[in-house]
Structure 1
Amino acid sequence: MQDHLKEDPALLLLKYGGKVSFDLKEAVQQISARQKAAKKLPSWTSNSQLVFPASISLEQSSSEQTAEFKARNRKGNLMIDLTGGFGVDSYYLSKGFEKAIYCEQHQELAEIAKHNLEILAPRKFEIVPGDGLAYLSQSDLHFELIYADPARRGKGDQKLYKLQDCEPDVVSSWEMMKSKADSILLKVSPMLDISQAISEIPDIQQVQVISVKNEVKELLLHWKKEKTNSPFIIEAIDIGLKENHFSFDPKEEESIQSKFEEVSNYLIEPFSAILKAGAFKTFGERFGLSKLDPNSHIYTSSEIPQELPGRVFQVMREVQPKKTEIKKLFPSGKVNVITRNYASGSEVLKKKLGLKDGGEDFLIGTKTQSGFKVFWCKLAKIE
């Protein structure tokens, strides 16, 4: 495996099929898994002692970046992960604890995690193959942290967007979980509706939307036993070259009256975590921006906003979405196309205009209060 880490797995199967004494398929699966997870789990893929599971478990696991973020400022004597999976979150969360319990219903995955966690954190973990909630309900132990990442797909592989429909059902077991913990952290589907989740578990005190390089990855729901007088807040965090944080009170969001105007010198697109969090009006008010339309979550300003968690585009001019005009502007056929509340999606618009993403220019299609429009823009240089 170590000798062929950078080679094509399919070609390895063809080249060495029937010519080796070991399980070739298993070795190639390990090579393939490391290649797929190299960016997501760099330190794990570089550790030759670790074993990797099938691709679906890799896809569902946290990245090292998001796992380390969740583990910040968490410490104590004992924690439990009710849905251990590949063990990435279990490992990073456990760093601040004396002992940790890992639960996983999938037998093979539990065996892989047992092997890996003993290498990464010797003698720290107790491995419990089976239902984490069933184990918790029968346990007399008290935990400083209960963590769960409920499965997001049901029978027939359909996607689930209600928390109670996920597995395990933490909604029905919520009171039992609270009785055994000082704090609870739930990682839920980024597709989950935040207001729906709060209606299912009204005790949730904070929600965090985590994006990595402007792509939403995780939705975190927090509860702590100690009472707090702080208002319920939603926090959007983008993890990139630096971290950008944006917090707001949903009640404040409801009370704000947005300003509207036609496109000025700059268009502003908030980071995706802010849009997922639903801070549409708060974002505009906080940075003195105007919206283009009630449902167009792109903003405009005559000046470049400073220290803003988003991308700022300088508007060159409005263009007609016609092939002849676009061809004159971009002879190479390369331009980055973005649509927000536009008549069609970006892929449809690219196909219509014969374009491919690339270069330093942008076409932004959106709706203003005077109709659907397309603007030629460049990323603004912010000093």
Structure 2
Amino acid sequence: MQDHLEEDPAKLFLAQKQPLDFDLKLAFGQLQARQKALKKIPTWAKHPSLVFPPNLSVEQASSEETALFKSGLVRGSTMADLTGGFGVDTYYLSKEFDKAYYCERNEELSSLFAHNMEVLGETKFSIFSGNSIDFLKRFEGKLDLIYADPARRGGHNQKLYKLVDCEPDIVAHWDLLKSKSKSILLKASPMLDLKQALMELPDIQQIWVVSVRNEVKEVLLSWEEEKERSERHIHCIDLHPHGNKAFDFTFEAEEDCVSSFSDIGAKLVEPMAAILKAGAFKSFGRRFGLAKLHPNSHLYTAADVAENVPGRIFEVVQEVSNPKKELKQLFPSGKVNVITRNFAIKAEELKKKYKLKDGGEDYLIGTKVGEKYKLLFCKRIN
């Protein structure tokens, strides 16, 4: 595995003509799974003795980065993961606990987890193979944490986003979960409607929208027995090797905010993806003294912008009023990073129309300013 980690598994598979003393199909599957895990779970992917599940389970697993982030939100004596799967979250969350229960209805996955934890020298896990709701009903005492990442694929492999559609149905069993634990942490789809989720589970006290390198990966919902339910705080977090960025707000404060609007200034700001997902459109502008270009554009402008703004900052070089003529002069190689926000056409259509491809240091931003669509040639600052 380790010798061929960066090679094409299909070519290796076809190149083998002589009899081997191991199962080549199994090795092929393991190599594919490890390659998928290289960026997502690098520590495990490089471990020579861990066994990996089929590709889908690796795709659905949390990344090492997000699992480590979640482990920083919790601590206690006992925890249970109701949806263990490959076990990445279970493993990293358990670092903050003395005892951990891993629940998984798929026997193959639970046996893989048992093997891998033995390889890693972990002895704090009790493994339950079966329905995790049955496990909870039979569990005596009270856990410090229940964690769950309900399955988000239907019977026909369609993706599901509402909590009530996922398995197990956390909404239907919410009272049981609360009776068995002092705190609950749920991982949901990045496509989850946050306000809908709060209607389904009104006890939720905090939400985290977690992005990695400005791509939203997870939505986390939190409840703690000892906390009073007041305003629900939404935490927007971007995890990045050069430093994490954060922005907190409440839906109540967002409702009370009033946006200001202006024409294009010297700088443009695109909020980080987690802020856009959470819907902090008015709060973001108010917090950093920025004006919007249009109610639905979600791009902001000012003469000057603080460097710590949680988003991408651009310097506006010029407006492109005659794109057919000017784009060839501005970008002779055809390379420019194209972004559209509330524009007449999507970024892919714009690139196709003017024969552009993403790349280089320049940006072409299409958006609506007032009642007009405008194309802007920009340079990234931060």
TM norm. shorter chain > 0.5: yes
1:280 aligned residue: 281
Once the two structures are superposed, residues 228-274 of structure 1 have per-residue CA deviations (whole angstroms, 9 ceiling, x without a partner) of 36532101000002111110011010011100111111110000001
**2:369 counterpart of 1:373:** no
Is the 8 Å Cα contact of residues 268 and 313 (structure 1) preserved in structure 2? yes
Q: Aligned-pair distance for 1:161? A: 2.0
1:222 aligned residue: 222
> What is the identity, as a one-letter code, of the residue corresponding to 2:370?
Q
Is the 8 Å Cα contact of residues 150 and 188 (structure 2) preserved in structure 1? yes
Rate the CA distance shift 1:195–1:380 in 2: closer, same or farther, 3 A.
same
Once the two structures are superposed, residues 38-64 of structure 1 have per-residue CA deviations (whole angstroms, 9 ceiling, x without a partner) of 111111111111111111111111111
Q: Which moved more, 1:105-114 or 1:176-185?
A: 105-114
Is the 8 Å Cα contact of residues 163 and 171 (structure 2) preserved in structure 1? yes
Q: Which moved more, 1:126-135 or 1:114-123?
A: 114-123
Q: Aligned-pair distance for 1:380? A: 1.8
d(CA) in 2 for partners of 1:378, 1:344 = 22
1:165 aligned residue: 165
Once the two structures are superposed, residues 306-357 of structure 1 have per-residue CA deviations (whole angstroms, 9 ceiling, x without a partner) of 3110010000111136333211110000000001111111111111110010
> What is the identity, as a one-letter code, of the residue corresponding to 2:140?
D
d(CA) in 1 for partners of 2:352, 2:229 = 53
1:295 aligned residue: 296
**2:194 counterpart of 1:194:** yes
1:323 aligned residue: 324
Once the two structures are superposed, residues 138-175 of structure 1 have per-residue CA deviations (whole angstroms, 9 ceiling, x without a partner) of 22131100000011111212221211011110000000
2:346 aligned residue: 345
d(CA) in 2 for partners of 1:225, 1:17 = 62
Is the 8 Å Cα contact of residues 267 and 316 (structure 2) preserved in structure 1? yes
1:82 aligned residue: 82
Q: Tell me, what secondary structure is at the counterpart of 1:314?
A: strand
User: Unpaired runs of 5+ in structure 2?
Assistant: none
1:211 aligned residue: 211
User: What are the equivalent positions in structure 2 for 1:109-258 lying under 5 Å apart?
Assistant: 109-228=109-228, 231-240=231-240, 241-258=242-259
Alignment RMSD (CA, Å): 1.3
User: Unpaired runs of 5+ in structure 1?
Assistant: none
d(CA) in 1 for partners of 2:233, 2:260 = 23
Is the 8 Å Cα contact of residues 232 and 249 (structure 1) preserved in structure 2? yes
Q: Tell me, what secondary structure is at the counterpart of 2:293?
A: strand
2:108 aligned residue: 108
Is the 8 Å Cα contact of residues 2 and 46 (structure 2) preserved in structure 1? no
> What is the identity, as a one-letter code, of the residue corresponding to 1:327?
K
Rate the CA distance shift 1:17–1:101 in 2: closer, same or farther, 3 A.
farther
Sequence identity percentage: 55
Is the 8 Å Cα contact of residues 118 and 125 (structure 1) preserved in structure 2? no
2:58 aligned residue: 58
d(CA) in 1 for partners of 2:314, 2:336 = 14
Q: Aligned-pair distance for 1:100? A: 0.6
d(CA) in 1 for partners of 2:83, 2:168 = 8
- With normalisation by structure 2, the TM-score equals 0.97
1:304 aligned residue: 305
Q: Which moved more, 1:105-114 or 1:202-211?
A: 105-114
Is the 8 Å Cα contact of residues 323 and 354 (structure 1) preserved in structure 2? no
Count matched residues: 381
d(CA) in 2 for partners of 1:352, 1:79 = 54
Q: Aligned-pair distance for 1:6? A: 2.3
> What is the identity, as a one-letter code, of the residue corresponding to 2:37?
A
Q: Aligned-pair distance for 1:111? A: 1.3
Q: Tell me, what secondary structure is at the counterpart of 1:293?
A: coil
d(CA) in 2 for partners of 1:2, 1:282 = 49
Is the 8 Å Cα contact of residues 17 and 24 (structure 1) preserved in structure 2? no
